Structure 1
């Protein structure tokens, strides 16, 4: 199982990663079968996910990131590019590339979805990967 994790908003993405790793452990995925690759941000996830998918070494690639709306339209560009890029990575590689990128209005919402009131979306994405 491969995970591509964005460093940008790491306070959120690290919690998503921890939730995913806990889920993999519960479903008996062995540590030696899990690799984590960090990328600068969510925009950079798709090409790395496609390369990993095409490597033939993984059954799934879990893509973890967090895009938080700011004062500009940058949010729209990054979140749309990440979503369409991850979809394309899965289609082009033939390996499921699971979308675990939060797209949130503010940091409170992101933290709530990374283990707060709304659960951990990284754990939910990991369930998709093992399913």
Structure 2
């Protein structure tokens, strides 16, 4: 009979984790919403504002910016983020596929622009722009079968604002320059003497291109007496 071997795996050490909360109290938010397909975007906006209020945000801390269409959302979101008055931006819009390739081009540009704005400004941007093949899909995502994407985008913005605040408060281990403070390793007294360099042993003024100064070049010893005295002795 084979003996059963029980293998015990050590538990991993506790990992430091930072997680946001769904508490919008004390935070300010910006909402950029497109007027194109307003019968969809207005539903997204209503649910987004409702989510912010439910999580504790006050009306004075909610700034709504309306733009013509989804293509203009990134520019408005960046301008709003650069004001420094909002801690997160909620982007709401609706794009429906048509007969031409215009749908793909706008989707790509809006996605790239919103992501680039978030990365360059450092302000979290949440995505609430619907990209649907038809009107039925958009209606389902604006409050029917698939929930409301405006509500979900607002909750994501609340959590990201909380995450950013938590990360900003964890700077005690960083130096004022934003880098981890370096620590000097202790050096024994004997090692210090070995590592220390005496100024008299080497200085840039004594070595120029590997040669000594003319004043430090070795000089020949002068012979005692003159040539005339040596001639007289020979005679």
Scaled to the shorter chain, the TM-score interval is: over 0.9
Q: How many residues align?
A: 131
Q: Which of 80, 87, 95 is the aligned partner of 1:59?
A: 87
How far residue 51 of structure 1 moved from its aligned partner, in angstroms, is 0.9
1:119 lines up with 2:152 in the alignment: no
C-alpha offsets along residues 51-73 of structure 1, whole Å, 9 cap, x if unaligned? 11111000001000000001110
Q: Secondary structure at the match of 2:154?
A: helix
Structure with bigger gyration radius:
2
Counterpart Cα distance in 2 of 1:32 and 1:45:
22
Alpha-carbon contact 1:4-1:45 (below 8 Å) kept: yes
- Counterpart check, 1:9 vs 2:37: yes
CA distance in 1, matches of 2:122, 2:83: 10
Q: Greater share of helix residues, 1 or 2? A: 1
- Report the TM-score, using the length of structure 2 for normalisation: 0.55
Structure 1: stretches of 5+ with no match in the other structure = none
* Bigger strand fraction: 1
| 1:15 shift after superposition | 0.3
Tell which has more relative contact order, 1 or 2 (C-alpha 8 A, sep 6+): 1
Contact 1:50-1:89 within 8 A present in 2 as well: yes
Q: RMSD value over aligned CA atoms?
A: 0.6
Q: In the TM superposition, what whole-angstrom CA distance separates every residue of 1:78-113 from its partner, at most 9, and x where no partner exists?
A: 111111100011111110111110100001100110
For 2:64 and 2:97, the matched residues in 1 are separated by 26
**Is 1:64–1:100's contact at 8 Å kept on the other side of the alignment?**
yes
- Residue 83 (str. 1) matches residue 111 (str. 2): yes
Gaps of 5+ in 2: 1-28, 160-235
Matched ranges for 1:70-109 at <5 A: 70-109=98-137
Looking at structure 1, the residues matched to 117 and 135 of structure 2 have their Cα atoms a distance apart, in angstroms, of: 27
Aligned counterpart in structure 1 of residue 50 of structure 2, from 7, 22, 35: 22
Structure 1 segment 18-57 matched on structure 2, within 5 A: 18-57=46-85
